[in-house]
């Protein structure tokens, strides 16, 4: 994501679809909120549908973590720092790729915080189980960003149309 932010900042792209990125929430950038998703802790289940792990105190829990420099990694790390007195985690793998963390969670290697849009089917069929309550979930806004300078006509039409849709209450289905 950092390379994409840099590309927008340097004018090498017109738009960036991303999450709530502080550096882009101020001038010279404009943004349109397109939706919201949730990141939640999940793990694989056994043959009876019971989660392989529980968010309970005791032994350190195996954590499939995002790279600390990634947006998702920073969000999860903030939550984990607040819960340091409650639970202990042992990092067993690190990646900036949601899909890789999902594969490792499906293989039973640990607990991963994954966005709902990436695990809808796995939750529905019971391959992954959500852990803990709402206090363990992280809200993530999905936002389209642009530089505030005038873009070419097609890009301006696209932005204008999308801005009207958003003003009328349209959001991405998540």
Contacts of 115 (CB under 8 A, 6+ apart): 37, 38, 39, 72, 98, 140
Instruction: Answer yes or no: are the C-beta atoms of 97 and 65 closer than 8 Å.
Output: no
Question: Can you give the residue ranges of every domain in the chain?
Answer: 2-36+144-167, 37-139
pLDDT at residue 86, rounded to an integer: 80
Domain 37-139 has CATH 3.90.1150.10: no
Q: CA nearest 10: which of 23, 22, 19?
A: 23
- Return d(Cα 171, Cα 174) in angstroms, integer: 9
- Prediction pTM value: 0.85
Percentage of residues of the chain with pLDDT beyond 90: 74
The upper half-sphere exposure of residue 108, i.e. CA atoms within 13 Å in the direction of its Cβ, equals: 7
Digit-coded pLDDT (tens) for 81-134: 987 678 889 999 999 999 999 999 999 999 999 999 999 999 999 999 999 999
């Amino acid at each position: 994501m950092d390379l994409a932010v840099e590309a927008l900042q340097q004018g090498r792209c017109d738009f960036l679809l991303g999450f709530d990125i502080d550096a882009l929430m101020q001038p010279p950038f404009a943004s349109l909120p397109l939706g919201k998703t949730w990141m939640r802790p999940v793990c694989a289940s056994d043959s009876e549908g019971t989660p392989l792990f529980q968010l309970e105190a005791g032994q350190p829990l195996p954590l499939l973590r995002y790279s600390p420099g990634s947006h998702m990694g920073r969000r999860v790390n903030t939550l984990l720092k607040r819960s340091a007195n409650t639970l202990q985690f042992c990092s067993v793998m690190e990646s900036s790729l949601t899909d890789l963390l999902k594969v490792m969670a499906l293989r039973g290697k640990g607990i991963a915080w994954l966005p709902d849009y990436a695990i809808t089917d796995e939750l529905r069929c019971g391959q992954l189980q959500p852990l803990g309550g709402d206090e363990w979930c992280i809200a993530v806004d999905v936002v389209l960003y642009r530089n505030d300078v005038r873009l070419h006509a097609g890009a301006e039409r696209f932005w204008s149309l999308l801005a009207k849709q958003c003003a009328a209450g349209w959001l991405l289905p998540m």
